[in-house]
Structure 1
């Protein structure tokens, strides 16, 4: 059975918000351990997984829950993903600001999505 667009939208926005929350934790840990000897910076693996789901959409012509089922934001070390293994404090602060703006945009998008669903359920009546 195929889900409605509202279920896929809600699931995708929820996953993106989970990733942004996890990314905030990773950035905070990186900043807190910037001067710790031997610390390996953390990052979140999410965008590459969403790219795979996008390719599924492109090849199949639709996106369903099974394409999103394997998408789970995961915290990983930067060296696992081929990124530099050193904390660059200025970059982490910039990433934190960027992540904060992205989270706010996702929250606003989810709020509008629920407002549209609410209007549809109430048939536009107040």
Structure 2
């Protein structure tokens, strides 16, 4: 069961990084529109949800499977001066991309180890 919880947690984390990049790209695309206020992803609740699911055992898997990234990390207005700077938003997109790639690689290795355990060989 811990394997399924891990995969679901990584699925949610991938979704969060995708949403993070989408919010940053939206901020860049609309930066010159009059009255546009930059947005940011509020991820404080996501970590608490993942901890709760991990400690809930089998019920935690069901909880994670029913969640989406947008459901646990709302997009909120960000009135800070830094949020309005395109360079800051590009850096946010790059960070989200790197995090996404690291998560995808860890999931790939996880499945590779599972394949090795089942078949006894690592090749396809």
TM range (shorter): 0.7 to 0.9
> Structure 1 residue 56: deviation in Å?
5.4
Which residue of 90, 99, 108 maps to 2:105?
108
Partner residue in 2 for 1:40: 37
CA contact 1:42–1:77 (8 Å) conserved in 2: yes
SS at match of 1:97: helix
Partner of 1:25: 22
* Distance in 2 between residues matched to 1:115 and 1:29, nearest whole Å: 35
Query: Secondary structure at the residue paired with 1:34?
Result: coil
**Structure 2: distance between partners of 1:88 and 1:125:** 46
Residue 80 of structure 2 corresponds to which residue in structure 1? 84
Structure 2 unaligned blocks of 5 or more:
none
Counting matched residue pairs gives: 118
SS, match of residue 50 in structure 1: helix
> Structure 1: which 5+ residue stretches go unaligned?
none
C-alpha displacement at 1:89, in angstroms? 1.7
| Structure 1 residue 8: Cα displacement | 0.9
- Length-normalised TM-score, structure 1: 0.75
**TM-score (normalised: structure 2):** 0.76
Shift of 1:66: 3.8
Q: 1:6 is matched with which residue?
A: 3
Name whichever structure is richer in helix by fraction.
Answer: 2
Distance 1:72 1:44, change over 3 A: farther
Q: Hey, what does 1:119 align to over in structure 2?
A: 116
